Amino acid sequence: MRTPQTSLMVEGMRVALPRLASDSGAYDVIDRLSLSIDQGQTFALVGESGSGKSMTALALLRLLPEGLRIREGKVLMGDDDLFALRESDMLRVRGRRIGMIFQEPSTSLNPVMTIGQQLLEVIERHGLARAAAARELALEWFARVGLPEPERQLHAYPFELSGGQKQRAMIAIALAAQPELLIADEPTTALDVSLQAQIMALLKQLQQERGMAMLLITHDLALVSDVADHLALMYAGQIVESRASRDFFAEPRHPYGRLLLRALPKASDRGRALAAIEGLVPSLRQTFAGCRFASRCPWVLESCMHQLPTLNAERGVRCFRDAELAASGDRLRLETFDNRPSKSGTKLLEVRGLAVRYRRSGGWFEAVGGVDLVHVVATATQAPDLVV
């Protein structure tokens, strides 16, 4: 329910991927997604790679890649539905009302512009300051995010910065216009543990200063447990569980959440094999007849393969067996129904007698020779096998 404290509300968002020319219709790669983020709240969107987390963020900003389209839904911010705005109005929303830290600052920053130019562009485009005042504001932001020698950073190119410094520069650029909501897409990816802690502490500090809402997109459950107020667990384009973070970590309700927490390494598990979830996130280029997690779920029923569960608004979970699992926990009897994809598919690839040899030229005192890199006698794979 929307309240005066709501910063952003998403209602029934569907993102469609058109089928191939030989087919008709489209695939729902984001399926009826709804969420609500309050002012000052850290809302974590969590899931494996391929679950649709980053696509959700791009859809909120109407920055979807070519070929994808918003099929239906609303994104409400204040009195505005962002999906109903003209593109000229959305230009004022991006950066000014919603800031975003994209994945991989090395590829998100413009390599032919200095860090200072990129920050000044945001400051001036949104009318925050001009000329000398804009420069002073840029220096202030570099200092606030902990970049050393702010004056020098104005003239530094991205390749001259370390990974942590690039991430701090991205934070300055995302927050310079003082947005109401920050979308942070894997903000600590590729950073070592100490830098991750510094970056998240910085984001939380800046968030508290502004009362800003934050949508944190990550696959790192340990990070979420430290910083998030609310958690939405995403799988194959759907939210399957949405609850207060502390409640989720105390007792997850969806089978996917249970298995994810079980897979987290613990000190008491030293010397034991790590728990893992069998299988992979399914391709979103398909029509799902039933529960999207059914092919990997140890508590699956045959009906799960053919019926679509809805998200229970009261309990915040999308599962037919939620009540049984809550009552019995992991002791719930596993069904004998085999939910694994059939391995009797058609042969996709067969390799015989493949050899790759690297020719090594001789130096002054080295004879010309070669190194065998690959040698395959024979192998074959059938759908849906994975050969590594």
Last residue within a domain, chosen from 218, 246, 274: 246
- pLDDT band, very low/low/confident/very high, at 337 (cuts 50, 70, 90): very low
Mean pLDDT confidence for 230-251:
96
Tell whether 300 is covered by a domain: no
124-155 tens-digit pLDDT: 999 899 989 999 999 999 998 989 999 999 99
Going through the chain in order, the beta strands assigned E by DSSP cover 6-18, 26-38, 42-46, 69-77, 80-81, 98-101, 181-185, 213-218, 230-235, 238-244, 347-360, 369-382
Same domain as 202, residue 60: yes
> Is 332 a residue whose pLDDT tops 70?
no
Q: Can you list the pairs that 107-113 forms with residues at least 24 positions away whose Cβ atoms lie under 8 Å?
A: 108/170, 109/158, 109/166, 109/169, 109/170, 110/158, 111/157, 111/158, 111/159, 112/157, 113/157
Confidence of residue 362 (pLDDT cuts 50, 70, 90): low
Residue 287 lies in a domain: no
- In the three-class reduction of DSSP (H, G, I as helix; E, B as strand; rest coil), residue 283 is classed as coil
Please give the pLDDT value at position 270.
77
Whether residue 333 lies inside any domain: the answer is: no
Residue 124 lies in a domain: yes
Domain limits at 355? 347-382
Q: What is residue 373's predicted lDDT score, i.e. its pLDDT?
A: 60
pTM attached to this predicted model: 0.82
Dihedral angle at the C-alpha atoms of 183, 31, 303, 259, nearest 10 degrees? -10
Report the alpha-carbon distance of residue 11 to residue 73 in Å, rounded. 6
233 and 356 in one domain? no
Tell me the pLDDT band of 340, cut-offs 50, 70 and 90: low
Same domain for 59 and 178, yes or no, is yes
In the listed set 199, 217, 246, which residue is the last one of a domain according to the structure? 246
- Separation CA 215–CA 211 (nearest Å): 13
Residue 266 lies in a domain: no
Rounded distance between C-alpha atoms, residue 17 and residue 15, angstroms: 7
Query: Is the same domain home to 183 and 52?
Result: yes
Query: Which residue in 175, 192, 194, 193 sits closest to 183, CA to CA?
Result: 175
Domain membership of residue 92 (yes or no) is yes
Residues 369 and 228 in one domain: no
Nearest to 175 by CA among 132, 229, 138: 138
List the structure tokens of 36.
């609500």
- CATH number at 219 reads 3.40.50.300
Last residue of a domain, one of 246, 278, 305: 246
In a domain, 289, yes or no: no
In a domain, 37, yes or no: yes
Structurally, how many domains does the chain consist of? 2
